[in-house]
Amino acid sequence: MDIDWNKLTAAATEAMHNAYAPYSNYPVGAAALVDDGRIITGANVENASYGLGLCAECSMVSELFRTGGGRLVAFACVNGQGETIMPCGRCRQLLNEHAAPNMLLQTVSGIKTMAEVLPDAFGREDLNQ
Ligand code: THU
């Protein structure tokens, strides 16, 4: 499947503008290409009880299932300046759960595979014993 990284970054940036980040003042937008061709997005949603804040990837994965499920083929996330940032460690695990084989991520050091950003991941297959 052809990946339009500019389109994905633009979708993440658009989503970032809907973030609710009054505590960190660090809005984040996330976007992914799904294996059926659709693009899903998410933004971070913080909370007065700080630890309850949701990363942009969390709302993006909710959107994945709300709109029919599927597997993530490509992913990008951006900060308030529209610059590419890395998904946090927890979100790498979240993305790995729903990754298509050979999923690619736009990172601060170029396009990488899921396995490169989360080596030797613990995943669903580990529970099939
Ligand atoms: N954040 C995300 O939404 N995704 C990430 O992968 C990195 C961090 C959010 C969480 C918090 O609302 C803000 O960025 C500052 O950490």
Atom of ligand 1 nearest to the CA of 91: 6
The pTM of the whole model exceeds 0.95: yes
Biggest CA–CA distance in the chain, Å, is: 45
Q: Would you give per-residue pLDDT tens digits along the chain (129 residues)?
A: 899 999 999 999 999 999 999 999 999 999 999 999 999 999 999 999 999 999 999 999 999 999 999 999 999 999 999 999 999 999 999 999 999 999 999 999 999 999 999 999 999 999 986
Looking at residue 1, what is its pLDDT?
Answer: 83
Ligand 1 binding pocket includes 44 (Cβ within 6 Å)? yes
Nearest to 116 by CA among 98, 103, 125, 127: 103
Which of 62, 88, 95, 106, when mutated, tests ligand 1's pocket best, judged by the most ligand atoms within 8 Å of its CB? 88
Ligand 1 binding pocket includes 28 (Cβ within 6 Å)? yes
Whole-Å CA distances, 55 to 3, 4, 62, 67, 128: 24, 24, 11, 19, 28
